[in-house]
Structure 1
Amino acid sequence: MNRDAHVPDWTLISLRPRGQHALLRRAAQAAGAHVLALSPWALQVRQDAATVAQLRRALAAPRVLFSSPAAVHAAARLQPLAGPHPGTWLAVGAGTAAALRAHGAGEVLAPARMDSEGLLALPALADLHGLDAGLVTAPGGRGVIATTLVERGARLIRADVYRRVPLALPPRALQRLRRCPRPWVLAVSSGEALERLLAGVPADLLAPLRQAVVVAASARLAEQAQAAGFAQVALAEGPLPRQLVQAAHAAIITSATS
């Protein structure tokens, strides 16, 4: 897309977990972007007996919520997900729903607005008094899903099926970033990832990073980026790689032609 003369070379910075940059990289490269991966953490499946037992309980609940594709893939390594299930299974967005279907799950509900608020607005979660609600997720995050389920009367069965292992930002990747063409665009689908990036980059990169365009997967993340000192923040239609890249490319075109 950036073959047009008015679109400059640009760099998309991916904050996805280690080993999970491929889809975002493919979409960004199709839009003519250079891509730099800066993973703030790696994902590790929790395979102990207690986690497996808790997951089994969560999957048997009348309402089962999956917080991310990573939660689905981790759960599938611990327990088969294929076939019909006894309750209503819900996914935070299209990517999570697709992951469940890829593992053979039966009917899955997912919101058009692909974030915690969109998930919690689904009618199946409106009144949970007296019901068990399974939450398949990882430690950390905002906790808004778990908190809201309990507030609505659910007995929460939380299965933390993977954990985030913090990673130091690699010096070689940071050195490549210094040479990457500008403008830079940060694709942000996790507030924790943005916080870890800002806490881990060397001092000489903080100022140029804050001059980058942030493409946020949700309004909440856009507000967080603005509060962190980013002046240029664009809101993507959702967290999918193609949505983030479309918003990034549109922001670059607007900046180049204004």
Structure 2
Amino acid sequence: MSATSVQVDKDLAGCTVVITRPAGTATSLAKHVRAAGGAPLLLPGLSLRGTPDAHHVRAQWREAQRDDVLIFTSPAAVRYALALAPFTETHGAVIAVGRGTARALQRHGIAAETPASRQDSEGLLALPSLEHVHGRRIALITAPGGRGLLPQQLAERGAQLRYVYVYQRTASRLTQHHIEAVQQLPADAYVLLSSAEAIQNLHAQLPATVWRRLCEATAIVSSERIAQAAREAGFVRLYPAASAAQADLLAAACRAHSRQHD
């Protein structure tokens, strides 16, 4: 199953699926939910913005293209980096955290290595090309924040790290419409969760009674780390997805719905 060709055969007929991806990035996933017979509810937990210091970061991005390895941590990192300056010919390796990021690079004619299984920091760290990096210059094309596991492990392996923060993640602005939609959420709804930061932002912004309503839904979680964050925030019913890729999240929701109605 690919992220752009999700075969679900109306497996979510009649279901409400809450999408918590950053504002402006959920169009494709919402389309697939509708194709599966479900009703998408957009509840963005994050908002993505360009760097406030474009001149300085543009210079950093151009310098990073001369490093030994460039690691893009998200499709957004690709989009914002290429908006700052074009990608020039580089002798270094290009690595993408997952298939979506690799596709974003491919649209610009840039081939990237990506983990075959886990599309996260652990998957990247397991790549043979990142096993022996002592003394190598590695640029992380990313946003501030995040887990910190990837740079920590690369630094411990002796890499010389450069951070290029081409965009930033902030809390999205929820409206009364969002609050009212969650208040009316049926108990058999599904919430797609792939960011601990998004969970925290939504928990902080939604009124307590509305948050409890959201937690009555089944959380589709992209990893055990996200599952832990969801449990700590109040979710009780959790179902694992293979990864944070939209196809994997949607497939997990379909399986969870099928099991509940067997």
The question of a shared fold, defined as TM-score above 0.5 by the shorter chain, is answered with: yes
Report the counterpart of residue 61 of structure 1 in structure 2. 67
Report the counterpart of residue 115 of structure 2 in structure 1. 111
SS of residue matched to 1:35: strand
Q: Deviations over 1:207-247 (max 9, x none)?
A: 22222111112222122222333221111122221211110
C-alpha displacement of 1:52: 0.8
Aligned partners of 2:10 and 2:66: how far apart in 1? 52
Report the counterpart of residue 188 of structure 1 in structure 2. 193
Q: Does 1:150 align with 2:155?
A: yes
The answer for unaligned runs of 5 or more in structure 2 is 1-7
Report the counterpart of residue 4 of structure 2 in structure 1. none
Report the counterpart of residue 77 of structure 1 in structure 2. 83
C-alpha displacement of 1:195: 1.1
Q: Does 1:41 align with 2:46?
A: yes
Q: CA separation of 1:3/1:133 partners in 2, compared to 1, >3 Å: closer, same or farther?
A: closer
Moved over 6 A (4+): none
Identity between Structure 1 and Structure 2 (%): 36
Give the counterpart of 1:133 among 138, 154, 170.
Answer: 138
Aligned partners of 1:96 and 1:8: how far apart in 2? 30
Q: Deviations over 1:128-179 (max 9, x none)?
A: 1111100000011111111111111011111000012322321112212223
Q: Deviations over 1:27-63 (max 9, x none)?
A: 1111111111111332111252211111122222111
**Equivalent pair of 1:9/1:183 in contact (CA under 8 Å):** no
Q: Does 1:51 align with 2:57?
A: yes
Give the counterpart of 1:226 among 231, 244, 256.
Answer: 231
- TM-score, reference length from structure 1: 0.92
Aligned partners of 2:30 and 2:13: how far apart in 1? 18
**Equivalent pair of 2:212/2:234 in contact (CA under 8 Å):** no
**Equivalent pair of 1:14/1:186 in contact (CA under 8 Å):** yes
Q: Which moved more, 1:192-201 or 1:177-186?
A: 177-186
SS of residue matched to 1:56: helix
RMSD over aligned CA atoms reads 1.8
Report the counterpart of residue 200 of structure 1 in structure 2. 205
The number of aligned residues is: 253
Q: Deviations over 1:41-99 (max 9, x none)?
A: 321112522111111222221111000000000011012126x4210110000000000
C-alpha displacement of 1:188: 1.0
Aligned partners of 1:173 and 1:231: how far apart in 2? 22
Report the counterpart of residue 239 of structure 1 in structure 2. 244
**Equivalent pair of 1:2/1:8 in contact (CA under 8 Å):** no
Report the counterpart of residue 5 of structure 2 in structure 1. none
**Equivalent pair of 1:81/1:100 in contact (CA under 8 Å):** no
**Equivalent pair of 1:11/1:181 in contact (CA under 8 Å):** yes
